[in-house]
Amino acid sequence: MIDATQSMLFFMRWRRPRRLIEIGRIINEFNRGSNDRDQSGFGGRILRGALPDTKLGMLSEIGSKSVMGCLSRGIGSGMNSGLGIEGQLDMSKGFIGARQTTIRREIILTGTGVHSGSPVSIVLHPADADTGIRFLITKGDEIKADIAADVHAVSNVTLCTVLSDANGASVATVEHLLAALRGLCVDNVHIEIDSGEVPIMDGSSAAFVEAIDEVGIRELSRPRKYIKVLKPIRIDEGDCWGELAPHSGFHLDVEIDFDTPLIGRQRMAVEMSPGIFRSEISRARTFGFMRDVEQLWAAGLALGASLENSIALGDERIINPEGLRFKDEFVRHKTLDAVGDLALAGAPLLASFKSVRGGHRLNSLVVKALLADKEAWSVVHAPSTRDTIVHAESDLSFGVAAAANFAADRG
């Protein structure tokens, strides 16, 4: 697996300079200064669409924009159809959202690890159907580890979600990036990373969403797989609990309760869709208490935390001068974390998820308990072309929901 992936990564790197400053120069020359810009508000550098046609010739244009990207932003029709190369399908036929997806072009992001404090760069590469989401930990041109975004790879849940392999290689703080990918219905991607932690950016998923929206999403030829929950699965830990139950879509009900008037009790219940994730959840930032800072630093945690990537709570006030993005930003971020952690099931869930006073640990335990009970779930598929029963040309969210409902009914 590693040898094959190394060969693929070498091909993807062909003609791609190692230094990001040189990458930026080439991108700007290619785009003639059109779209690439410093996203300093996201706490890192985003270089979108690094080079055309770098992955096995599968990055051809479909019209002037990504069809899926256009639909996800509500731009509507006016799209060209293509044939022959995987991903260039006539999307006016069948469900929008019924097939697996990947990103249309390479995405490069740089930033800082919130816990390590170290600089880190990641490169998101398009991937074939049934690849899933995989982290490729690299050193120079060599892949040191290939770790699937899978709950069985979870090795630590202290303040973030950490994935590891059998040899001890690990990647931390994966939840915000996974939330963006799952929230926007991206099924397959290789994530090349040169450090042990995904960059925190501004503490939310906004930078990842912005980058994915900019390059667009490409539909592949195979139907999307879902994990359909067949019976309730619940985990209790004291006064905290989490439960997955049968549902025809993906519903989240997250409740938190902190012993401070700055947060208190907050609840968010939402039927998930790309539009809802983008507008209501993706911008919610991580948070922490100033009273815990010295203890965290002593434990080697939060070394990269700042007011640019976290909400800091004092005893009586929010320290960030700009305040909150939402009145209930805290529970929105916990919902974001849940979307990312539940993505570790390995496929989109047809389920409702309820969490009370939960976090990364509880989220992980619920997913593990589900997958351990073979009678609690099954794999179902969205309709193939011959199963077409609805046409949703201009609303990706509707199409994803329709495909999910169809799969749920057929399961």
pLDDT tens readout for residues 238-253: 999 999 999 999 999 9
pLDDT of residue 305: 84
Q: Identify the CATH class of 226-410.
A: alpha beta
Residue 230 CA to residue 210 CA, distance in Å, equals 35
- Catalytic residue, candidates 115, 125, 333, 360: 360
CATH 3.30.1700.10-classified regions of the chain: 226-410
Q: Is 391 a catalytic residue?
A: no
- The H or E element that residue 48 is part of is strand 45-48
Q: What is the mean pLDDT of the chain?
A: 78
Query: Which of 3.40.50.720, 3.30.230.20, 1.10.3720.10, 3.30.420.10 would CATH assign to domain 2-223?
Result: 3.30.230.20
pTM: 0.75
**pLDDT confidence of 117, banded at 50, 70, 90?**
confident
CATH 3.30.230.20-classified regions of the chain: 2-223
- Amino acid in position 334: K
Q: Where are the beta strands (DSSP E) in 157-258?
A: 162-164, 170-171, 189-193, 217-223, 225-229, 233-237, 240-246, 250-257
pLDDT in tens, 313-327: 999 999 999 999 999
pLDDT in tens, 145-155: 999 999 999 99
pLDDT in tens, 142-180: 899 999 999 999 999 988 999 999 999 999 999 999 999
Question: CA 367, 115, 156: angle at the middle one, nearest 5?
Answer: 30
